[in-house]
Amino acid sequence: MKVLSFLGPTAYKDTTYSYQGKEFKTRFFVEALPHFFSDIDSILVFVTPTVEKHDNLRELRTRLGDFLHPVPIPETHTEESLWEIFDILTQEVETGESVLFDMTNSYRSLPFLVFLVAAFLRTAKQVKVEGVLYGAFEAKSDNNISPVFDLTPFVNLLDWLTATNQFIYTGDARYLASQLARMDDDALKPLITGVNDISLGLRLLRPMDVSRASEKLPEILEGISAGIPKPFEVLTRRIEESYSQFRCEDSEGAKECLESQLRMINWYHKRQHTVHTIALCREWAVSLLCMYFEVDAWNKYERSDMELLLNGGVYKDKYGNIIKESPRLERWKNIPYGKRLRKLWNSQPYLLANLRNDVLHTAFRKNPKSAQAIVKQTEQIVVEVNEIAKLWNLGKN
């Protein structure tokens, strides 16, 4: 294991550092580390030109012997020098190495930089961060025993930040669930499973799976409220609000489920999941007619007839002969805003059915639309779907 430490020109004083039942008396905290950790191979101490000439380095070299490897860094007076130090620190660590960070004698902005370097190396070079330690001389007891604070959880906080950003901007909570899983707490397993189930259902366009998993979420959160990790605690309300809107119990009617799916359409669209948005808009229009005719929205034959109605109600061969006609065609004239539905389905500027085929067949067709055109057309479709929903009195979305 490699140690990354810092040294300044301060007149450090003797104290006995205490860490996990072990003690060592020294005025240089970094000297205690080989006594606390038996697997240390080398100690890199980063020193400025001022410290290179200072007695502190000469004394530390005597105490640590072959463990010590001084590494020059610039004085930290400018933003450019901070980036230079960042580069030096990251270059001194190889991919996959185990590293212990000692920030006891870091100064000015270096403590902040240490946290960023630790987080960066863990991701960019798959470095195993064994710990971020601080020998707290200023917190020493009356008998001169100084505690050692393990600040590693605050490096993990940056992982929570990344996971939070992913959730806020994409709606995907998988990374948040993985952070919860690292807590190794059985009480959190229902929450981990619930969040993963909702995220998986959303990614794979499973509206009813999402609805069922969302239905359980408030009860799960309430049951473990006392044991939720601090970083996750501030997000619980936001996660519940984001996902619980998709609830639609099996016992609820088609209208409630259509409203739930409409909220899902808007959720997808807001987060720029264009493919999901188009696909669900198309199925939503079919389900709307299933509700009107009071037929099973999960029956493929009934859905096929709704699609036929949206296409005009009849299929003709190339000679104009009718080869199939919907048994509900005569009732079409009674459908509220039927012309508007058909325009959404197969007329400019929406062409919903055609756009869905273009997108889900991944442009393997003649004259496929450009990505920019798809985004623009999807915007128009979502606006129209919401307007139709209002006309059908489908409630707030």
pLDDT of 397 higher than 60: no
Q: Of 188, 264, 274, 201, nearest to 231 (Cα)? A: 188
Residue 355 pLDDT: 97
* 8 A C-beta contact, residue 271 and residue 171: yes
The yes-or-no verdict on residue 250 having pLDDT over 70 is no
What is the structure's pLDDT at 243? Answer: 84
Q: Are 341 and 310 in contact (CB under 8 A)?
A: yes
Quote the CA–CA distance of 123 and 66 in Å, as a whole number. 30
pLDDT computed for residue 240 by the predictor: 82
Distance from C-alpha of 69 to C-alpha of 121, rounded to nearest angstrom: 20
Query: What mean pLDDT do residues 115-123 have?
Result: 90
Query: Region 80-94: what's the mean pLDDT?
Result: 93
In the three-class reduction of DSSP (H, G, I as helix; E, B as strand; rest coil), residue 319 is classed as: coil
Q: What is the mean pLDDT of residues 238-264?
A: 83
14-28, 247-261, 295-309, 347-361: range with lowest mean pLDDT: 247-261
- Residue 249 pLDDT > 70: no
pLDDT of residue 50: 92
Which tens digit of pLDDT belongs to each residue from 321-375? 999 999 999 999 999 999 999 999 999 999 999 999 999 999 999 999 999 999 9
Written as one letter, the residue type at 230 is K
- Give me 48's structure tokens: 């400025």
Taken in order 85, 89, 92, 96, the sign of the CA dihedral is negative
Residue ranges covered by each domain of the chain: 2-150, 152-247, 253-397
The token duo for 388 is 């139709």
The residue type found at 110 is L
Q: What is the mean pLDDT of residues 23-46?
A: 95
Q: What is the mean pLDDT of the chain?
A: 91
CATH number of 2-150: 3.40.50.10640
